[in-house]
Amino acid sequence: MTTAAHPVFGTDTLRRGIEADTSAALVSLYADDAELRVVDRHTQPSHPKVLHGRDEIAAVLDDVYSRDMTHTLEACVVQGTTPPTARAAGTRTGRGSSRSRCSPCGTGRSPGR
């Protein structure tokens, strides 16, 4: 009996997903039934925007990655068996930067800023 080896999720995998030119690598990290809670200036922690499923998450990430921005992973914290929490920054050409925290592991945990 043989078992297929699955790639181990880690900081390098997350970095490649965030820093890629398209959203495809990052979207592939989400499960089909993933839930992502978005907390930003429009949706506060008490009423986060909730995206259900990989397709909804992909639509938002496709929109973000279609903009003229460079995305970088600034920090990633991995604790025990919980998914990593990452702080990523997107810099628009000639327009400063925006920062976000994300947990692209299909758990729906997105701690916000």
Computed over its alpha carbons, how large is the radius of gyration of the chain?
Answer: 14
Set out the domains of the chain in order of their start, with CATH numbers.
11-102 (3.10.450.50)
pTM of the model: 0.64
Answer positive or negative: Cα dihedral of 30, 20, 76, 94: negative
Which residues pair with residue 101 across a beta bridge? 87
Residue with tokens 């920054």: 89
Mean pLDDT per segment of 10 residues, for the chain of length 113 residues?
57 88 91 90 91 95 92 76 56 49 41 37
* CB-CB contact of 108 with 35 (8 Å): yes
Tokens of 68: 């003229």
